[in-house]
Chains A and B, each alone.
Chain A
Amino acid sequence: MGLAFWFTVIPLIAALLILILPKLDKAVYRTIALSGGILTLVLVLAGWFAFDGRTNVVQLAGRIPWFTLPGLWHGHNLVVGLSFGVDGLSLPLATMTAVVGLLALLAVPKDRDRGKENYFWLSLALTGLMAVFTSQDLFTFLVALELVLFAVFFLVYLFGETGHQQAAVKFLIYRGFSTVAFMVALVGLAWAAAGGYAAGNANVSNAVFTLNIPTLTATLHQAVSQWLSPAAASALFLVLLLGVFIEEAFVPFHTWLPTTHEHADTSTNMLIGGVVTKTGAYVLLRFGVGMLPGEVRHWGVMLAVFGVINILYGAFAAWSSKDWRRLIAYSGISHMGLVLLGVAALNSAGLQGAMFMLISSGLLTALLFFLTGAMKDRTTTLTIRSLGGLSKSMPMLSGFLMVAALGSLGLPLTSGFISEIQAFIGGFATYPAISFVGALGVVLSAVYMLYAMERTTFGPTAEGFLQLADARPFEYLPAVVLTGLVLLVGVYPDVIGHLFGLSAQALLRIGG
Chain B
Amino acid sequence: MTGLGGPLFPIPTGSLLALGALLFCIGLFGALTRKNLIIVLVSIELMLNAANINLVTFSRLGVNPSLSGQVFSLFTITVAAAEIAVGLALLLAIFRLRRSSEVQDLNVHKW
Direct touch of chains A and B (CB < 8 A): no
List A residues at the B interface (Cβ < 8 Å): none
List B residues at the A interface (Cβ < 8 Å): none
